Amino acid sequence: MAIRLLLVDDQALVRGALAALLALEPDLEVVGEVGRGDEVVDACAKLQPDVVLMDVEMPGLDGLEATALVRQRYPSIRVLIVTTFGRPGFLRRAMQSGAQGFLVKDTPARQLADAVRRVHSGLRVVDPTLAADSLAFGESPLTARETDVLRAAATGHTIAQIARSVHLSEGTVRNYLSSIIGKTGASTRAEAVQVATENGWLIL
């Protein structure tokens, strides 16, 4: 029987290209495509895929949160993260979310198809360069609350606007931002956002 695949990516062109490549493999069958992270669980319920190929940055829900939900509700469904953003922090969080694999989108088609088969058989598949980088960079130094504040700060809002959006006092927000800037080694809020995003500690 063919391995049933669900493709999850917010870019229709990318989904189409992946579907066309994977359809060339006689033992792989694309049973559905989804463009939003918050549609993944319903699609899994309806289509019953064996493996979900999941992007990270998507509307509605990011791919790492969607992965955690899929793994909680459908433990038999495997998730392979396939993303443009090969960031060490994303890899670490993907594994914590329950993903069985993590590859970047420029992976050759044959390797991607092989990765799908390996993940389906219960093995882990991780881009080797990213695996090494992940060990070097380590986990995010930011707490969950600091991450929330930094995500709000990334919009360029004022302290007052950030405070309202995260339901904290302006003084508390200032303290959090000061801590974030120190932990990321940045000199400004904007630089802290850049550092956290590049390391995969923050998904915007």
Tokens for 76, please give them.
């038999």
Inter-residue contact 189 to 177 (CB < 8 Å): yes
pLDDT score recorded for residue 141: 83
Fold annotation for 3-137: Rossmann fold (3.40.50)
pLDDT score recorded for residue 136: 47
| pLDDT less than 50: residues of the chain | 135-136
pLDDT, the chain, mean: 87
pTM for the model stands at 0.67
| CATH 3.40.50.2300, the chain: domain bounds | 3-137
Inter-residue contact 80 to 101 (CB < 8 Å): yes
| CATH 1.10.10.10, the chain: domain bounds | 144-198
CATH number of 144-198: 1.10.10.10
The H-assigned helical ranges of the chain are 12-23, 40-47, 63-73, 88-97, 109-120, 128-137, 144-153, 159-166, 170-184, 189-198
Alpha carbons 204 and 190: distance in angstroms, whole number: 13
